[in-house]
A and B are shown apart, each in its own frame.
Chain A
Amino acid sequence: MPLLSIENLKMYFYTLRGWVRAVDDVSLSLEKGDSLGIAGESGCGKTSAILTLLRLLPRNGKVFGGKINFAGKDLLKLSDREFSKEIRWKKISTVFQGAMNSLHPTIKVGDQIVESITIHESVSKEEAVKRAGKLLDLVGIGASRFDRYPHELSGGMKQRTMIAMSLACNPELVVLDEPTTALDVIIAAQVLKVIKELQQKLNLSTLLISHDLSMIAETCNKIAIMYAGKVVEQGDIVSVFKETLHPYTQKLIAAFPSVLGRKTELSSIHGFPPDLLTPPPGCRFHPRCDYAMEICRKEEPPVISAGKDHYVACWLVGGRKE
Chain B
Amino acid sequence: MAAKPQEKRPREPRSFRALIFSLLIILLGFATIGLGVCELYVSLNLGDLKNPEPWAADLWALFANSGLMLLPHLYSIMDFVIGSIFILCGYLIFRVKHMEFAALTAFATGLVALFVYGIGDWWTYVARIKYEGLAVMYLRVILQGAVPIIVSALSLTAQRQEAKTLMGRRIRSFWEDFSHNKIGLVGMAILFTYIIAAVLVPVLSLGVNPEKTDLADELVPPSWIDFFYPSLRDLPRTLHQEYNFTDYFVTLPESIKNDPSVTWSWNGRSFEFNISGLSYNESAPFRISLETVSDYYPYNPPRGGGFIIGFTLEVDPHQYYSPSEKIARAFYNVELNMTSPVNTTNLWDAEWYNKRQYYYSQSITPRQELMPLNISSPDKRLQKTKINETFQLTSDLYWSHKMGFVNKDGAVDWQSLSNALFPQKGNYSYQMYFYINATATYSRTTDTTTIYPIYYFARIKPIFLDVKGMLHGIMGTDHLGRDIWSRIVHGIKISLAIGLASAVASSFIGVMVGVVAGYLGGTVDELMMRLVDILLCLPVLPLLIVLVYMYGQNVWYIVILIAIFGWQGLSRVIRSQVLSLREAAFVECATASGASRTYIMIRHLIPNVLPIVLSDFVLSVPGGIMTEAGLSFIGFGDPTTPTWGREFNIMWTEGGAFAVFAWWWFVPPAIAITVLCLAFVFLGHAVDEIVNPRLRRRR
Contacts and interface: CB of A to CB of B under 8 A. Distances in A.
A58 interface: yes
Contacts of A13: 699
A60 B699 CA distance: 8
Interface in A45-61: 58, 60
4 contacts: A13-B699, A58-B698, A58-B699, A60-B699
Contacts of B698: 58
Nearest to A16: B180
Interface string B688-699: 000000000011
Interface of B: 698-699
The main secondary structure of chain B at its interface with chain A is loop
Contacts, number: 4
Contacts of A58: 698-699
Contacts of A60: 699
Interface in A229-261: none
A60 B697 CA distance: 12
Interface string A1-45: 000000000000100000000000000000000000000000000
A58 B698 CA distance: 9
A320 to B, nearest CB: 41
A148 B572 CA distance: 32
A35 B508 CA distance: 61
Nearest to B180: A16
A58 B697 CA distance: 12
Nearest to B698: A58
Nearest to A61: B699
A256 B499 CA distance: 61
B478 to A, nearest CB: 51
A288 to B, nearest CB: 26
Contacts of B699: 13, 58, 60
What are the 4 A-B residue pairs with the smallest beta carbon separation, nearest first? A58-B699, A60-B699, A13-B699, A58-B698
Nearest to A15: B699
A58 B699 CA distance: 8
B698 to A, nearest CB: 8
A74 to B, nearest CB: 27
A268 B699 CA distance: 28
Interface string A57-83: 010100000000000000000000000
A13 B698 CA distance: 13
A206 to B, nearest CB: 26
A144 B384 CA distance: 111
A194 B698 CA distance: 33
B606 to A, nearest CB: 32
A179 to B, nearest CB: 22
Nearest to B699: A58
Nearest to A57: B699
Interface string A87-131: 000000000000000000000000000000000000000000000
B181 to A, nearest CB: 13
Nearest to A60: B699
A60 B698 CA distance: 11
A91 B699 CA distance: 28
B176 to A, nearest CB: 13
B696 to A, nearest CB: 13
A54 to B, nearest CB: 16
A185 to B, nearest CB: 25
B433 to A, nearest CB: 87
